[in-house]
Amino acid sequence: MMKNDIEKVLISEEELQDKIKSLAAELTEE
């Protein structure tokens, strides 16, 4: 169970970084 929680955190961490990168790209384009 602990392992699954850690994997979920890692996945959400990667997703957050991807969202931040795309948001930053949009801001720099403007």
pLDDT at 11 over 80: no
pTM: 0.49
pLDDT confidence of 1, banded at 50, 70, 90?
Answer: low
Instruction: State the chain's maximal CA–CA distance in angstroms.
Output: 44
First to last CA, the chain: 44
Cα atoms in the 13 Å half-sphere on the side-chain side of 17: 6
Task: Report the C-alpha gap between 29 and 20 in whole angstroms.
Answer: 14
